[in-house]
Amino acid sequence: MPGTLSSAHALAAAFDEYLGDPDAGGTPYSYEEIMAADENSEFPVNARAVLEKWGFHELLVPLEQGGRLRTLEELFHVCRVLARRNSSVAVTYGSALLAANPVWLWGDARQKQALAGELLTGGLACFGVSEVDHGSDLQATEAALVPDGDGFRLTGLKWPVGNATRARFVTALARSGEHGLSLVLVDKERLPPGTWTCLPFVRTLGLRGHDLSGVEFHGAPLPGDAVVGAPGIGMTQVLKTLQITRTAIAALSLGTMDAALRIGLGYTTGRRLYGDTVFAIPVIRHQLVREYVNLFIGECTAPPVARALVLAPERLSLWSSVVKYLVPVIAEETAQNVGVVMGARSYLREGVAHGVFQKLQRDHAIAGVFEGTTHVNLHWIADQLPAVVAGAGEPDDAARDLVRRLFDQGEDTPEWVPDGRRLRVSNGGRDEITGAWAPAVRDLEALVTGPRPPAAGAELLALCGAIGARRDALHARVRATAEWDASSVRALSDARAHCVLHAAASCLLMWLGNRERMGGAFADGGWLVLSLQESLRRLGVDVEVDERHADELGRRLEQAAGTGEWFGLASLAAG
């Protein structure tokens, strides 16, 4: 990976090297051992010990609490590397992060110290929010927190919950009388016997070996300082906490896409049919290039939003839902399409890459479900869309500077100092990323007419014109809708289109902000042409793929087969 990129990329590259080649045996992160554990629905032996030796678990704890979590961006890129090998392990630590974030954001010194001590010594935590009969309907929560002397009693069943059995600490949502809903931090080791029970592991399609179970409290006594933050703000705390993990989930999707593409490429370049490699078959080559481009789109869309936790946490209510909807959907398509390319081999639990491909597909199926389903996230976007459209206009200097910092891949962000007050449940109509579209197109026009125009400049301008027309049509339709119903099919369709426009803007901004630094094929812009064409296709426009740029990416893919080269935008940079 080029050294011109941020420390987050460098950290991920070091972690990738540490875990080694998954196609080689002998480690818990080799496909051979991963599949052996999966067949027995077990967690790979020593998988957590290997991560702890590197210090992965310390990335769950902010610097101010003695950990290594400097920014969400760093954790995002490292989690992508882990998910490329084993999503079950990545989700285990993701569940712990979900439980910990409310404590980092609102907890008192005692709560932070206790939880940090557990996580830094290799322990886990869980987020007890869902209930059997209510799922994501948090307002229907039945778990009850009642006063008892100087403390409380907690009664209720939380299910299904990641890490519920293995975790010592539970961040639980409960009804707290006149206060409404509150979050409490529960230390199971300090509860008397018989006041809590763990439920059996749930058998799942994927993530075999992951602790998905439940916990039931039977009048469990809690101290008076068990409430996280103020009582009665539990719903707001959950909604804000999910903004962070919704963004982080995209790392699971990018890791899955990365692995699927590598496996599909290795298979098609190594197998010969009809006198040549499978990769030489035009339709196969075309499909893998398209999935390569989809990986680029995901990379342009998600990491800048991860940076926003430090730079613009007020915007995560909208941007995290865009990422949570779009990137898992793209990853599902990529896994399915690479599976079609591999044919019967994608279905086998042995053979190519020790049969791990079908595990990748099974594991990733959860990405579109937890932290809000695709429809839940589209609803959140649709609910804010009229305000976003009404607020669309020429960005001021502050907005332009924010966009520059979000997409600058060579600049580190400041340290994250957790503060729940900075997160919002609504963007208030502000969206600097899609709002940067018109200025970005003007910047492109200036490049095209300048002394050193990019080779793909004319194509890019034409594509931006077509995307801009779709953007204008969407905004006009939203403005013309007198009675906006965020739950309607029309509104959800418009929200889906907004996500694609957000991704298209992100691709253009990523290119404009890094072309001089990264150089090479990245600066040439062929990948951007294909990315914008793919965006138009998702907007319902029939687009003929530019074969010249597709052939160039095809050659790069073929050269990368078997080299272990870093997949993604960084691989296009010069040097």
pLDDT at 575: 58
pLDDT at 534: 97
Residues with Cβ within 8 Å of residue 420, at least 6 apart in sequence? 102, 105, 106, 229, 237, 240
Q: At 175, is the secondary structure helix, strand, or coil? A: strand
Q: Residues 434, 435, 436, 441: what is their CA dihedral angle, to the nearest 10 degrees?
A: 90
**Range of weakest confidence among 24-28, 225-229, 329-333, 471-475:** 24-28
Q: For residue 177, is it left (φ>0), alpha (ψ between -120 and 50) or beta?
A: left
pLDDT at 1: 40
Is 237-572 in CATH node 1.20.140.10? yes
Q: Which tokens is 101 given?
A: 């974030």
Kindly report, residue by residue over 388-421, the tens digit of the pLDDT.
999 999 999 999 999 999 999 999 999 999 999 9
**Helical segments of 72-108, H only:** 72-85, 87-106
Report, in angstroms and rounded to the nearest whole number, the Rg of the chain calculated over CA atoms: 24
Whether the pLDDT of residue 3 is over 80: the answer is no
Q: With bands split at pLDDT 50, 70 and 90, how would you rate the model's confidence at 354?
A: very high
Q: With bands split at pLDDT 50, 70 and 90, how would you rate the model's confidence at 178?
A: confident
% of the chain with per-residue pLDDT over 70 = 99
Q: What is the mean pLDDT of the chain?
A: 95
Mean pLDDT value of segment 41-45: 92
Kindly report, residue by residue over 499-552, the tens digit of the pLDDT.
999 999 999 999 999 999 999 999 999 999 999 999 999 999 999 888 999 999
Q: With bands split at pLDDT 50, 70 and 90, how would you rate the model's confidence at 4?
A: low
Whether the pLDDT of residue 423 is over 50: the answer is yes
Whether the pLDDT of residue 90 is over 90: the answer is yes
Residues with Cβ within 8 Å of residue 324, at least 6 apart in sequence? 246, 247, 249, 250, 371, 372, 377
Among 456, 434, 575, which residue's Cα sits nearest to residue 502? 434
**Which residues belong to CATH 2.40.110.10 in the chain?**
125-228
Strands 125-128, 169-175: pairing is parallel
Whether the pLDDT of residue 108 is over 70: the answer is yes
CA dist 2 → 190, 566, 570 (Å): 49, 10, 7
**Range of weakest confidence among 2-6, 86-90, 237-241, 521-525:** 2-6
Mean pLDDT value of segment 319-344: 97
Q: What is the pTM of this model?
A: 0.97
Q: For 264-423, where are the E strands, in sequence order?
A: 272-273, 276-277
**Which residues belong to CATH 1.20.140.10 in the chain?**
237-572
Query: Which secondary-structure segment (H or E) carries 156?
Result: strand 151-162
- Residues 290 and 531: their CA atoms lie apart, in Å, by 9
Whether the pLDDT of residue 372 is over 60: the answer is yes
Q: What is the CATH number of domain 7-120?
A: 1.10.540.10
Residues with Cβ within 8 Å of residue 178, at least 6 apart in sequence? none
Whether the pLDDT of residue 197 is over 80: the answer is yes
Whether the pLDDT of residue 22 is over 60: the answer is yes
- C-alpha torsion sign, points 83, 87, 93, 96: positive
Asked whether the beta carbons of 143 and 173 are under 8 A apart, the reply is yes
pLDDT at 200: 96
Q: Which CATH superfamily is domain 125-228 in?
A: Butyryl-CoA Dehydrogenase, subunit A, domain 2 (2.40.110.10)
Whether the pLDDT of residue 566 is over 80: the answer is no
% of the chain with per-residue pLDDT over 90 = 93
Whether the pLDDT of residue 345 is over 90: the answer is yes
